[in-house]
């Protein structure tokens, strides 16, 4: 999670408290909203689903390439968001925003006593991301958290995005009176639902058309996170195998339970076939029946499930 208010002034932590009961999910081609019904049922009328989903396509020129290649919203997306909010109806004072995994850069680094030396973590992370983004380094919005024992100290997982890009994602909503309290990637949002469903740990794969993300959790805590762009499913599967090999070498206990989503994604099917051929456990499909079996959402179709899962995950633990 990249908390907007904190990260603008320095490093922030992934704190999941006080989440609003509204979430928007952006992809390169679509915007989705999940939240309470726009109108409360009349007194005595049967209650409908507690949540509703509204999705609309985005114009093809919604994003342009910004600092270090980060996607930046264009005027056409601003206009689309304004129309979308008017069509969706209802008051949305604040919301979480979920973006594709590859909108954000990720790195891991080992640090001695990061909790007691946060300034040192900041210096190391900023320097590392400087090498990733290249010179001159644009102003960055950065977030980090500890992720268990590393080879040389405590592992820290950090996320970063150019401030110009992150601010552009929030701007269309803020102009419409919606305060974006947190920006989160799709895989981290979904993992909020997936980890409890997998008894607190295991290996997760999340994919869209352009990227593959691998996450490892143990006892409910994140231990490893990596996102890589992929030209095709085979390249994505190779990235997943490399990540699994790296983590299982460090901690074989993490190689047991696994899940993959969204349902129907090419990488998910390839990962399932690979696991079966190698005699490993078949991944649980990260889908509504497993992650949110009691969810009742008006307006949702099967094609909306990835956005719906991301929104539900972003809203988990909310007000």
pLDDT digits (tens, 9 = 90+) for 42-94: 565 555 688 999 999 999 999 999 998 999 999 999 999 999 998 888 789 99
Gap between the Cα atoms of 30 and 261, Å rounded? 18
Model confidence at 39, pLDDT cuts 50, 70, 90, reads low
For residue 117, report the phi and psi dihedrals to the nearest 5 degrees: -135, 60
The pLDDT, as a whole number, for residue 256 is 66
What contacts 144, CB < 8 A, 6 or more positions away? 11, 13, 114, 121, 125, 156, 157, 158, 159
The pLDDT, as a whole number, for residue 315 is 92
Lowest mean pLDDT of 78-92, 179-193, 239-253, name the range: 239-253
User: What token pair was written down for 4?
Assistant: 């907007």
Give mean pLDDT, residues 199-213. Answer: 91
Gap between the Cα atoms of 223 and 201, Å rounded? 10
Percent of the chain scoring above 70 in pLDDT: 87
Task: Provide the pairing of β-strand 30-35 with 23-26.
Answer: antiparallel
- What is 188-291's CATH superfamily? ATPase, nucleotide binding domain (3.30.420.40)
What are the distances in angstroms from CA 248 to CA 21, 71, 217, 237, 304?
A: 37, 33, 12, 16, 33
In SS3 terms, 119-171 reads as: HHHHHHHHHHHHHHHCCCCCCEEEEEEEEEEECCEEEEEEEEEEHHHHHHHHH
Residue 9 confidence (pLDDT) above 90: no
Gap between the Cα atoms of 228 and 115, Å rounded? 28
The model's pLDDT over 87-120, given as tens digits with 9 standing for 90+, comes to: 888 789 999 999 999 999 999 999 999 989 888 8
CATH topology of domain 2-101+163-185: Nucleotidyltransferase; domain 5 (3.30.420)
The model's pLDDT over 277-299, given as tens digits with 9 standing for 90+, comes to: 888 788 999 999 999 998 889 98
Gap between the Cα atoms of 237 and 273, Å rounded? 10
Residue 4 confidence (pLDDT) above 50: no
The pLDDT, as a whole number, for residue 12 is 46
The pLDDT, as a whole number, for residue 18 is 61
Model confidence at 3, pLDDT cuts 50, 70, 90, reads very low
What are the distances in angstroms from CA 69 to CA 4, 48, 72, 222, 231?
A: 21, 44, 9, 27, 17
The model's pLDDT over 261-279, given as tens digits with 9 standing for 90+, comes to: 999 999 999 999 998 888 8
Task: Provide the pairing of β-strand 23-26 with 94-99.
Answer: parallel
Q: First-to-last CA distance in the chain?
A: 17
Residue 135 confidence (pLDDT) above 90: no
The answer to whether 20 and 95 are in contact (CB under 8 A) is yes
Sign of CA dihedral 256, 260, 263, 268: negative
Task: Provide the pairing of β-strand 63-65 with 71-73.
Answer: antiparallel
């Amino acid at each position: 999670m990249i908390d907007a208010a904190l990260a603008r002034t320095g490093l922030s932590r992934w704190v999941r408290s006080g989440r609003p009961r509204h979430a928007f999910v952006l992809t390169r081609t679509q915007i989705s909203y999940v939240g309470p019904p726009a109108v409360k049922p009349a007194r005595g009328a049967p209650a409908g689903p507690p949540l509703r989903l509204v999705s609309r396509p985005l114009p093809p020129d919604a994003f342009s390439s910004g600092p270090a290649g980060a996607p930046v919203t264009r005027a056409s997306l601003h206009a689309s968001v304004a129309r979308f909010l008017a069509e969706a109806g209802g008051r949305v004072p604040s919301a979480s925003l979920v973006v594709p995994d590859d909108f954000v850069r990720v790195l891991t680094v080992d640090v001695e006593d990061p909790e007691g030396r946060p300034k040192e973590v900041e210096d190391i992370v900023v320097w590392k991301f400087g090498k990733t983004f290249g010179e001159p380094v644009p102003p960055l919005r950065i977030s980090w958290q500890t992720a268990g024992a590393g080879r040389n100290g405590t592992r820290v997982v950090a996320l970063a995005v150019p401030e110009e890009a992150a601010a552009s994602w929030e701007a269309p909503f803020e102009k419409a009176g919606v305060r974006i309290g947190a920006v989160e990637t799709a895989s981290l949002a979904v993992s909020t639902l997936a980890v409890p469903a997998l008894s607190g740990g295991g290996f997760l794969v999340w994919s869209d058309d352009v990227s593959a993300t691998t996450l490892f959790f143990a006892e409910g805590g994140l231990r490893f996170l990596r996102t890589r762009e992929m030209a095709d499913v085979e390249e994505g599967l190779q990235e997943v195998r490399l990540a699994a090999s790296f983590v299982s070498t460090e901690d074989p206990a993490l190689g047991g339970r696994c899940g993959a989503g969204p349902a129907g994604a090419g990488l998910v099917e390839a990962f399932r076939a690979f696991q079966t051929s190698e005699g490993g456990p078949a991944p649980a499909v990260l889908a509504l029946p497993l992650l949110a079996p009691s969810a009742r959402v008006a307006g949702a179709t099967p094609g909306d499930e990835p956005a719906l899962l991301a929104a539900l995950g972003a809203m988990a633990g909310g007000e």
